Every structure is written in structure tokens, then in C-alpha cells.
Amino acid sequence: MTHLRAHSLATPRWHLAAAALLTLAAAPWLAGAARAADAHDHNHTAAAAPAAAELAEGEVRRVDKAQGKLTLKHGPIANLSMPAMTMVFRVADPAMLDRVQDGDKVRFSAERLNGFITVTRLDALR
Ligand SMILES: [Cu+2]
């Protein structure tokens, strides 16, 4: 059970990505305008957030297969307007819990399903 601390989870890069994501979500017409601008041949590079920006970062603290729950120390979750914290999540699919163990760094997405914050995607970073 090694705990490698290569990077802080709350990187400034994440905050920038989250801000960009929120901006796009608030003004979808703006994203459309940016794409239209790209159609011109002046080779402008749009600062669009990559799909991965939607995923939050976390570290597994506890896997509870019996209860179908996962404790994560997580970074900000943009779509839930949630700051970094350690908390218990439900998982959408119990099989997710077979793929992670204590100490794993993960990327995940979480949504509020039936009133419970639920992990809907979980990727271990190894
Ligand atoms: Cu939380």
C-alpha cells in the first residue's frame, strides 16, 4: 500500500480547466461562435476545454464493496459545484469497486442520482 505523492490534487491547472468548463456551460452560443471563427483560415487555436476536464481528480481512501460505497479524497467537482474534500460516494456500478484499491489515484465523474452523489465513471491512474 504505497502512497505516492507525485502531485498535489488541487493543481492550478484544474482550476483553470474548471473555470473554462463553467464558462462554456454558461454560454453555449459562445462555443458555437468560437467554432465558427475556426472555420476561417487564419489558424486560430481555440482554447476549448478537453473532454477530460469534466472529470474530477481523487484518491481512494476506502472501498466498501458490501455497501457499494467509495470514500474519495477529491478535488473540485465542477458539475456539482463542490470544493475539494474527503467524502463517501455511492457507485453507479458495483463492478467499479473491483478496479480500485486504497491509495489509488483516480479520475472520476459524479452526479446526483436519486438524491445521492454517485460516481458514474471511475478510471484508476496507474
Ligand atoms: Cu465532496
Tell how far the Cα of 38 is from the centroid of ligand 1, in angstroms: 37
61-78 burial, b for 16+ CB within 10 Å, e for fewer? bebeeeeebbbbebbbbb
In this structure, are residues 36 and 102 in contact, taking their beta carbons and an 8 Å threshold?
no
Tell how far the Cα of 69 is from the centroid of ligand 1, in angstroms: 14
> How many CA atoms, within 13 angstroms, populate the side-chain half-sphere of residue 83?
0
What predicted TM-score, i.e. pTM, was given to this entire model? 0.59
Tell how far the Cα of 50 is from the centroid of ligand 1, in angstroms: 23
Cβ neighbours, 10 Å, residue 57: 22
In this structure, are residues 111 and 124 in contact, taking their beta carbons and an 8 Å threshold?
no
Q: Is 40 helix (H, G, I), strand (E, B) or coil?
A: coil
What's residue 55's pLDDT? 93
Tell how far the Cα of 2 is from the centroid of ligand 1, in angstroms: 24
What's residue 119's pLDDT? 97
In this structure, are residues 118 and 90 in contact, taking their beta carbons and an 8 Å threshold?
yes
Q: pLDDT 10s per residue in the chain (126 long)?
A: 445 444 444 445 544 454 444 444 444 444 444 444 444 555 444 444 444 447 999 999 999 999 999 999 999 999 999 999 999 999 999 999 999 999 999 999 999 999 999 999 999 997
What's residue 99's pLDDT? 94
